[in-house]
Copies of this chain bind each other. A is one copy, B any other.
Amino acid sequence: MSRGDASDRLTGVSGASPTRVTVTDVARAAGVARATAARVLGGYGSVHAGLQERVREAAAALGYQPNTLARSMATGVTHTIGVVVADIGNPFFAGVVRGIADSARAAGYDTIVVNTDESAVREQDAVRVLLGKQIDGLVVASAVGAADDPAHLRAAVERGVPVVAVDRELPALDVDAVVIDNHDIAAAAVRHLTAAGHRRVALAWGPALPHRPRSLRTLLDASGRDLPTSGARLRGWADALTEAGHEPDPALVMTGSQTIEGVRRFVTRQLQADDPATAVFATETDAVLGTLAAARDLGLRIPEDLSVVGFDDSPWATVTVPALTMVEQPVRQLGQTAAARLVQRIEGRGAGAARTRALRGRLVERDSVAAPRA
């Protein structure tokens, strides 16, 4: 931790130069003042062409590399945005992150990505770390429920660090958000099923609750406290069913352990019930996998015995048998839009009230939906 350790390291690993070369070194070698060398190396102010040359040569000869930390200390700006994402292992978020990086890069910003594994604690940590690193702005796909107070993010806002929510809104905070219109696309997906004649459409998965709510209202209320995306999808499901004249039965909604295995058990139960579900709306990739596993367990054929619509289209959805009808989300665009908005905020343009921008999902129809058995 001491300076001594640091230089031990420098000399120890490989016959490396025992000390980094700084503007001071370059200035001395070029025979100019530090300020002059700094001006050409930093690309600001104005310096006689001849001197520029000399400084550049000296810098190249010494192998000078700028220290961005020092620059940031002096300017108060890092040209870096932080990204806090709940699950980088999910291709959805991976795509979002790439979109953010694309857009940020184009605007001259670096990105630092931190994964929280859906843990609220790690999210707080991540935000603290990023703020400590003096990022200029923050894009966050938060793991906190819609009802929880995101104090760590409020701290960012209060310090004047612009925050943009991506995919998951932050109703408790007055910040910009870029999301998918989950209610509409979910409703469209379920409408596709009711149009084919389905009345009993199971939903996997919904909010994680300790025990199954009896009434639809209780369920909707509970989901309002869950992740905003999952609540919106649930409401879309309910609205589409209602619209088709069917009662949205809370018993059709999975509220238990949200894992592939949990879905498998839930769907199995739904298919063996007295008034069995004839279709499943799977709102996450893992829910699709669990549903397919359940169907195979029971020897049910898709779509003859069971119709399925799932979230997050992916290349493998075309090689299953049958190919799956899926909701496609504009992931990359989601990230790009969020980063663009953030850069606007950082650079002081686009001031004004926080705004939520909703992007549209798309239903990709393949072969996993048919009319229910008579």
Interface residues, chain A, with chain B CB atoms under 8 Å away = 1-3, 5-6, 8-14, 16-17, 20, 44, 63, 65-70, 72-73, 75-78, 88-89, 91, 94-95, 97-98, 101, 110-115, 117, 128-129, 131-134, 155, 157-160, 162, 174, 260, 286, 289, 292-293, 296, 314-316, 318-321, 345-348, 351
Q: How far is the CA of A63 from the CA of B158 in the complex (A)?
A: 10
Residue of B nearest to A314 (CB): B316
Across the interface, do A98 and B113 meet the contact criterion of CB distance under 8 Å? no
Q: How far is the CA of A37 from the CA of B159 in the complex (A)?
A: 21
Q: CB < 8 Å: which of B8, B72, B97 contacts A115? A: B97
A-B contact pairs, 20 of them (CB 8 A): A1-B44, A1-B77, A8-B348, A9-B160, A9-B346, A16-B158, A16-B160, A20-B159, A65-B159, A69-B73, A69-B78, A69-B132, A73-B73, A89-B91, A89-B98, A91-B91, A101-B114, A260-B315, A286-B315, A293-B318
Residues in B with CB closer than 8 Å to A321 are: 320-321
Q: Shortest distance in angstroms between A334's beta carbon and chain B's nearest beta carbon? A: 14
Q: How far is the CA of A47 from the CA of B121 in the complex (A)?
A: 30
Q: How far is the CA of A128 from the CA of B66 in the complex (A)?
A: 9
Residue of B nearest to A94 (CB): B89
Given A16-B160, A67-B132, A110-B129, the answer on whether A316 and B345 have CB atoms closer than 8 Å is: no
Q: Shortest distance in angstroms between A323's beta carbon and chain B's nearest beta carbon? A: 9
Q: How far is the CA of A130 from the CA of B293 in the complex (A)?
A: 44
Residue of B nearest to A16 (CB): B160
Q: CB < 8 Å: which of B5, B65, B174 contacts A132? A: B65
Across the interface, do B157 and A14 meet the contact criterion of CB distance under 8 Å? yes
Across the interface, do A132 and B68 meet the contact criterion of CB distance under 8 Å? yes
Q: How far is the CA of A138 from the CA of B63 in the complex (A)?
A: 19
Residue of B nearest to A78 (CB): B69
Residues in B with CB closer than 8 Å to A94 are: 88-89, 94
- Known pairs A68-B129, A68-B132, A69-B133. 20 more at Cβ < 8 A? A1-B44, A1-B77, A3-B76, A11-B160, A16-B157, A63-B158, A65-B132, A65-B155, A65-B159, A69-B72, A69-B134, A73-B73, A94-B94, A98-B115, A101-B114, A289-B315, A289-B318, A316-B320, A320-B320, A320-B321
Across the interface, do A17 and B72 meet the contact criterion of CB distance under 8 Å? no
Q: How far is the CA of A75 from the CA of B6 in the complex (A)?
A: 8
Q: How far is the CA of A73 from the CA of B78 in the complex (A)?
A: 14
Residues in B with CB closer than 8 Å to A101 are: 114-115
Across the interface, do A76 and B6 meet the contact criterion of CB distance under 8 Å? yes
* 3 pairs of A and B residues whose beta carbons are closest in the complex: A16-B160, A68-B132, A10-B160
Residues in B with CB closer than 8 Å to A9 are: 160, 346-348
Across the interface, do A73 and B75 meet the contact criterion of CB distance under 8 Å? no
Q: How far is the CA of A66 from the CA of B17 in the complex (A)?
A: 31
Given A88-B94, A316-B289, the answer on whether A67 and B12 have CB atoms closer than 8 Å is: no
Q: How far is the CA of A119 from the CA of B207 in the complex (A)?
A: 40
Residues in B with CB closer than 8 Å to A114 are: 101, 110-111, 113
Q: How far is the CA of A89 from the CA of B90 in the complex (A)?
A: 9
